[in-house]
Structure 1
Amino acid sequence: MIDDPSMHLKPHSIVSFLVLLLLFHAAAAGGDGDQFRYDGFAGAALDLDGMAVVEPDGKLMLTNVTSQMKGHAFHPAPLRFHHPPPANGTAAAARSFSTAFVFAIAADYVTVSGNGLAFFVAPSKNMSTASPSQFLGLFNSENNGNASNRVFAVELDTILNPEFRDINSNHVGVDVNGLVSVAAEPAGYYDDATGGAFKNLTLFSGAAMQVWVDYDGRAAVVNVTLAPVEVAKPRRPLISVAVDLSPVVNGTAYVGLSSSTGPFHTRHYVLGWSFAMDGPAPPLDYAKLPKMPVVSAKRRSKALDVVIPVAAPLLALAVVAGVSFLVWRRLRYAELREDWEVEFGPHRFAYKDLFVATAGFDGKRLLGVGGFGRVYRGVLPASGTEVAVKIVSHDAKQGMRQFVAEVVSIGRLRHRNVVPLLGYCRRRGELLLVYDYMPNGSLDRWLHDHGAPPLGWAQRLHAVRGVAAGLLYLHEDWEQVVVHRDVKASNVLLDGEMNARLGDFGLARLYDRGADPQTTRVVGTMGYLAPELAHTRRVTPATDVFAFGSFVLEVACGRRPIERGGAMTAAADEDGQLVLADWVLDRWHKGDIAAAADARLCGDYDAKEAALVLKLGLLCSHPVAAARPTMRQVVHFLDGDAPLPEPEPTYRSFTTLAMMQNADGFDSCAVSYPSTATSIDGASSVLSGGR
């Protein structure tokens, strides 16, 4: 036998062979240094944070139904995004790269979602300072838009955020260092099978879709393409925009996926992901991707296949009856829709759903009638959510688009003492606003309906604190300043636990729309209107504070701010009209202010607390706007964190309230008296600019 030395493997050769084998195995499992592919994520070595988890079947769930949360998934190894610098000393250009991923967004409701997901490139995996909700887990209110972020992202956004100049609530955007997109388009794709016709896609439909992001480093162009998962990559991208990423990804960086939730329950899934530098991303193997749950569709009835007309006259009669029914049904559920409303889509309810929810706006479902419309109780057919539907009649021909934009923006208000505005619907001459249902109705009924049990002092004080907290949120703690414009007991609703919540926003703004600023009508309720409105016509947080003062006195005394036909007292005029603030002030000067508390309490209250609340009502009702406290000061007074200043000795009378009834600045058609108000939640509001 010939012993050939070439047939022997040396030890170092065996080691080299094993290393190559391990590298081959690693490349097959996830990728090499410049590319990777995940056909599902079971066993994938991703770096996860926040709510992100890999489910047993391999789906990557970035966020679940928990509100106001975020989740991230990173490919663990950093990637080099720049070519070596040229010898001539010029700046190095960013390398080309490409990524593809399959995602699905499943929302609990068919009309609303929150808030979307994004592919991103970032210099670090530490996203702890990023905020959820509209910031998509990428930025926060302090760093959004800063060049120092060095973040490139492609967002799949399902909420319209005016502060980021979003085009609608269902779009794809290219972001550089912030969420004001350098380019954005409504979600959809150009279908090669139909000659390139554009087809819309709903991002939060729950259906699987694929995204391709391609960056050409030489041309400095980003292309983004979207399509259903069963459709091949379209030839024409959805977005093609010139963006030089050299100053952004100027070194090694990490690639990742991010999502966040707002107030609505939504799950964000990624089913597969691939990436490559200097070339196309490896194609995903769709057969290996985990599947989204399939919603079973209703089977079509086969009755039409077996029923044969017995006679031509009967068939003709059936056709006529059917057409008549369809015409009647169309007229019954007719809505007014305009092209500009597409951007507000998720916040719009179908009139048919509201009609069904309220049993055809049955009179038995009527909750109240106020100056701005009727309110009905309903149950949404899809979700079973209890709602209150306000029908407002209007003849506004100008400014409806701006008003609806305000309604949608106000719909993002979230506070325990503010009634959530869920959305709207429009018909000719009518606007329907949909709110959370408050089972205990308005505070006005509990104060003035003597058929209802009287509220105890602790409940009244709790209501005053709640309304104060709600106004503080509107004036100072939200992203914009909101002036309510009609704070009163009938606009304060009580939830199932008797917590006070401010109702309705925006209705007076609808009636002001298009008016000359010098002749704008003052819309509100007499007794709650600040004296300066007669001259300035300008609503401010201070005018809300005045109305809050009248409300505080009303709650503590069980009397309306102005009562007609009252007994003659030092606070009543010659017509027997009682101005409540003057009456309380008179009791204070006599040293017996606590006795002004509601007689229905039968003395069952803390006299010191009653005196503090009544003096606070007088202070907030001061005729001079500059003398009134802010709502933050009011909260401090109520919490005992600051001493309440005593009213000035010269502060003798509130009779300016009575004088306002005949002031030229108040339109008698727009001002109502509280004794005639029957609305359970009529209100009004205005948005000012951001802080």
Structure 2
Amino acid sequence: MQKEMDWAGGGRWRCQYFSVTGKTLVLFFLLWVQNSLSTANRFIFHGFDGSGLRLNGGGTIEPNGLLRLTNFTKYEFGHAFFPSPLPFLNSSTGEALSFSTSFVFAIVPRYHDISSHGIAFAITPTANLTGVLPSQHLGLFNHTNNGDPRNHILAVELDTIQNKEFSDINDNHVGIDVNGLRSVSSAPTSFFLNSPNFQHENLSLISGQPMRVWVEFDGKSMKLNVTIAPLSVPKPQIPLLSSKINLSSIVLGEMYAGFSASTGAAAGLHYILGWSFSMDGSAEELKLSNLPSLPPKEAEENSGKKTKIWVIVLPIAISVFLLISASGFALLMKTKKMFEEVVEDWETEYGPHRISHDSRQGMKEFVAEIASIGRLRHRNLVQLLGYCRRRGELLLIYDFMPNGSLDNYIFCRKEESLSWSLRFKVIRGIAAGLLYLHEEWEQVVVHRDIKASNVLLDAEFNGKLGDFGLARLYDRGSNPQTTRVVGTLGYLAPELSRTGKSTTRSDVFGFGAFLLEVASGKKPIELKTSGIEMVLVDWVFDFLKKGAILEARDRKLGDEYAADEVEMVLKLGLMCSQHSPEARPSMRQVLQCLEGEAPLPEMSVNDFDLLDSSHRMNRFVVVDGTSSNSGTVPAYPSSSSSSESQSFKRP
């Protein structure tokens, strides 16, 4: 008599019972049948509990057997490889062997329309990949080895982010990668129905729904086929990708097979539900009913609660009403005390008069702004007229700026977009104002938050720099003492994350971002539905490298612009955005170029010292420009220390 029993890893034991002269002799022997751990190099996993997979990074196996490669941690990668190497080359001929694999995966983004990065089935020479990076590198490569033929890596990527540096076709595609992330073949994620006309259907990798993938390589024809479909659809007859690849020059005698996934700025979950693999034969079909279930979605978990929402809302509404009624009387009683005049000793130091009240600024920011701008006088700085402070309330009074802030005209009012002549006028004015702060006043003033939203326009559209709530002063010849990083993402100089000290050169970096946004009509960092999509410095620099920098101009300008002025502003913006503080010009040099008093320095593409986008996005800390909160900043790649000298050094 024979009996088969499931093994935890997906294999099966087969037992034979023989009756011998009244005694039962039980002979157990292990037959590694299809898809079990054996010398037959075939295995199948319906869940991974007890599988013995080699896990690295964020890889873990949940109690129900579900393999999870990442969690909601940003910039994380996870690996899971079969524990033993597999023979991918014929030892006698050196030719690549055929193989077949099938697996079920799911990518669950943290937010509905913002994806993390993707997942990849990979064949690698080692299960311990070191020095690899998350985000767009998928936990398989890094900046230096991407594309190196010595990697000996074959991967099928299921990518959810479009990385232009790798020539990705879109943000939802399947690709075949050989030793790097520039796919040799790729296609939008879709499948063909097994119907007479083979209807084509699209799929979303970030739908959160399980999908099945088949990867098959024929060693004789050297053809690699990749097929994908929802769980409810049988394997399509037509593969999504079919590419001829000579794997004998890529794989080694023995290789590891497994999975890698990574997250970026937007985190997500990457799951593998089941996996089947076979060398020199078709992989056994997974039994979908035996696969572990994905964790329930938050919306599904809360669906039952919504049916009883009235039970919760009604008592809450009654409680809120009673609370408002009870506190209303107390609030009225305190009104008089709230409006009592408060005058302290420190206020006598400052000249502006007291007038009205009502402010939401904190005391620390209020004092900083008073100390910074109370005595500043320049036609391109917003003038403080006065202030008042009553119990618990603060207010600063500035010159009225009838045309509001510059960013409204650049980003919000498409029908009222500023002409180039007015934009150039504003740029020169803000440059003059910054020069006054850096070199012409009795102390050095570092503004620390230069951007279009902090530039106000008077009745004649003259630009005036305002919002000095983050500004700091220090005596000439001394070093700034502040070590907190404050400002706005996209305008922060890279050395701030290392030293925490703002200088005039870090102001120049912010001014560079301001120049680029005014000339291009784009924000320094633009967020798309798939996450962080574009860094403005990189985008403009790409046009410079192509010799077509004017293509980066704001299209709302039409044909009414001065080409030489636009080109100069864009190039100055790149010069001010350089990594090394010493490589940036001073505001005096910038203003001389803008006023036509000095020519723009000649610089080739190779002279620019700009950070790549992955370093810039991975290192910056978002800090509210209207607060003084600081954040912990990770170590930044080494650079020269900042300098306040006026020399303009090329890198």
TM-score of the aligned structures, taking structure 2 as reference length: 0.53
- In structure 2, what residue type is equivalent to 1:470? L
Checking the alignment, whether the CA contact within 8 Å between 1:464 and 1:552 is kept in structure 2 is: no
- Indicate the SS of the match to 2:554: helix
Which sections of structure 2, spanning at least 5 residues, go unmatched? 1-18, 305-401, 418-448, 457-462, 475-479, 497-508, 525-534, 541-549, 611-635
- Once the two structures are superposed, residues 483-517 of structure 1 have per-residue CA deviations (whole angstroms, 9 ceiling, x without a partner) of 6361799x999xxxxxxxxx987899342699999
Separation in 2, partners of 1:235, 1:144: 33
Cα distance change on mapping 1:123 and 1:640 into 2, 3 Å? closer
**Alpha-carbon shift at residue 453 of structure 1 (Å):** 6.8
> Are 1:520 and 2:563 counterparts?
yes
- Once the two structures are superposed, residues 99-135 of structure 1 have per-residue CA deviations (whole angstroms, 9 ceiling, x without a partner) of 0000000002222212100111111112111111111
Specify the alignment match of 1:55 in structure 2: 62
Which moved further from structure 2: 213-222 or 111-120?
111-120
1:46 to 53, 56, 80: 53
1:486 to 515, 520, 542: 515
Which sections of structure 1, spanning at least 5 residues, go unmatched? 1-5, 87-91, 300-366, 376-388, 396-437, 475-480, 494-502, 524-531, 555-560, 562-578, 583-617, 649-690
Specify the alignment match of 1:83 in structure 2: 90
Specify the alignment match of 2:280 in structure 1: 278
- Indicate the SS of the match to 2:155: strand
Checking the alignment, whether the CA contact within 8 Å between 1:214 and 1:224 is kept in structure 2 is: yes
Separation in 1, partners of 2:110, 2:145: 31
Checking the alignment, whether the CA contact within 8 Å between 1:485 and 1:544 is kept in structure 2 is: no
Specify the alignment match of 2:231 in structure 1: 229
Specify the alignment match of 1:112 in structure 2: 114
> Are 1:244 and 2:246 counterparts?
yes
1:37 to 24, 44, 63: 44
Checking the alignment, whether the CA contact within 8 Å between 1:52 and 1:72 is kept in structure 2 is: yes
Checking the alignment, whether the CA contact within 8 Å between 1:373 and 1:393 is kept in structure 2 is: no
- In structure 1, what residue type is equivalent to 2:554? Y
Separation in 1, partners of 2:468, 2:557: 42
- In structure 2, what residue type is equivalent to 1:533? M
- Indicate the SS of the match to 2:248: coil
Checking the alignment, whether the CA contact within 8 Å between 1:543 and 1:625 is kept in structure 2 is: no
**Alpha-carbon shift at residue 229 of structure 1 (Å):** 1.1
Separation in 2, partners of 1:451, 1:138: 45
Separation in 1, partners of 2:466, 2:190: 59
Specify the alignment match of 2:492 in structure 1: 470
Checking the alignment, whether the CA contact within 8 Å between 1:137 and 1:260 is kept in structure 2 is: yes
Checking the alignment, whether the CA contact within 8 Å between 1:486 and 1:544 is kept in structure 2 is: no
Specify the alignment match of 1:533 in structure 2: 568
Checking the alignment, whether the CA contact within 8 Å between 1:26 and 1:32 is kept in structure 2 is: no
Separation in 2, partners of 1:48, 1:254: 12
Checking the alignment, whether the CA contact within 8 Å between 1:471 and 1:631 is kept in structure 2 is: no
Checking the alignment, whether the CA contact within 8 Å between 2:214 and 2:227 is kept in structure 1 is: yes
**Alpha-carbon shift at residue 645 of structure 1 (Å):** 3.9
Separation in 1, partners of 2:470, 2:283: 70
1:457 to 473, 479, 485: 473
**Alpha-carbon shift at residue 93 of structure 1 (Å):** 1.2
Cα distance change on mapping 1:195 and 1:374 into 2, 3 Å? same
Separation in 2, partners of 1:164, 1:517: 36
- Once the two structures are superposed, residues 205-251 of structure 1 have per-residue CA deviations (whole angstroms, 9 ceiling, x without a partner) of 10000000000000100010000012111111111111111111131
Cα distance change on mapping 1:469 and 1:217 into 2, 3 Å? same
TM-score of the aligned structures, taking structure 1 as reference length: 0.50
- In structure 2, what residue type is equivalent to 1:520? A
Specify the alignment match of 2:438 in structure 1: none
1:57-456 to structure 2, matched below 5 A, reads: 57-86=64-93, 92-193=94-195, 195-295=197-297, 370=405, 373=408, 390=412, 392-393=414-415, 442-444=453-455, 455=471
**Alpha-carbon shift at residue 75 of structure 1 (Å):** 0.4
Specify the alignment match of 2:364 in structure 1: none
- Indicate the SS of the match to 1:38: strand
Separation in 2, partners of 1:67, 1:442: 29
Cα distance change on mapping 1:449 and 1:176 into 2, 3 Å? closer
Checking the alignment, whether the CA contact within 8 Å between 1:224 and 1:238 is kept in structure 2 is: yes
Separation in 1, partners of 2:517, 2:485: 11
Cα distance change on mapping 1:641 and 1:442 into 2, 3 Å? same
Separation in 1, partners of 2:469, 2:492: 26
Specify the alignment match of 2:633 in structure 1: none
Cα distance change on mapping 1:164 and 1:30 into 2, 3 Å? same
Separation in 2, partners of 1:167, 1:174: 13
- Indicate the SS of the match to 2:249: coil
- In structure 2, what residue type is equivalent to 1:284? L
- In structure 2, what residue type is equivalent to 1:484? A
Cα distance change on mapping 1:519 and 1:643 into 2, 3 Å? closer
Separation in 2, partners of 1:488, 1:552: 18
Checking the alignment, whether the CA contact within 8 Å between 2:516 and 2:573 is kept in structure 1 is: no
Checking the alignment, whether the CA contact within 8 Å between 2:572 and 2:590 is kept in structure 1 is: no
Cα distance change on mapping 1:53 and 1:465 into 2, 3 Å? closer
- Indicate the SS of the match to 1:522: helix
Separation in 1, partners of 2:403, 2:241: 50
- Once the two structures are superposed, residues 399-424 of structure 1 have per-residue CA deviations (whole angstroms, 9 ceiling, x without a partner) of xxxxxxxxxxxxxxxxxxxxxxxxxx
Separation in 2, partners of 1:148, 1:631: 29
RMSD across aligned C-alpha pairs, in angstroms?
Answer: 5.3
Separation in 1, partners of 2:165, 2:523: 29
- Indicate the SS of the match to 2:565: coil
**Alpha-carbon shift at residue 98 of structure 1 (Å):** 0.2
Cα distance change on mapping 1:33 and 1:464 into 2, 3 Å? closer
Identity of aligned residues (%): 32
Q: How many residues align?
A: 416
Cα distance change on mapping 1:281 and 1:465 into 2, 3 Å? same
Checking the alignment, whether the CA contact within 8 Å between 1:113 and 1:204 is kept in structure 2 is: yes
Checking the alignment, whether the CA contact within 8 Å between 1:485 and 1:543 is kept in structure 2 is: no
- In structure 1, what residue type is equivalent to 2:473? W
Separation in 1, partners of 2:283, 2:215: 9
Specify the alignment match of 2:575 in structure 1: 542
Separation in 1, partners of 2:275, 2:150: 28
Cα distance change on mapping 1:514 and 1:214 into 2, 3 Å? farther
Checking the alignment, whether the CA contact within 8 Å between 1:485 and 1:539 is kept in structure 2 is: no
Cα distance change on mapping 1:631 and 1:470 into 2, 3 Å? farther
- In structure 2, what residue type is equivalent to 1:231? V
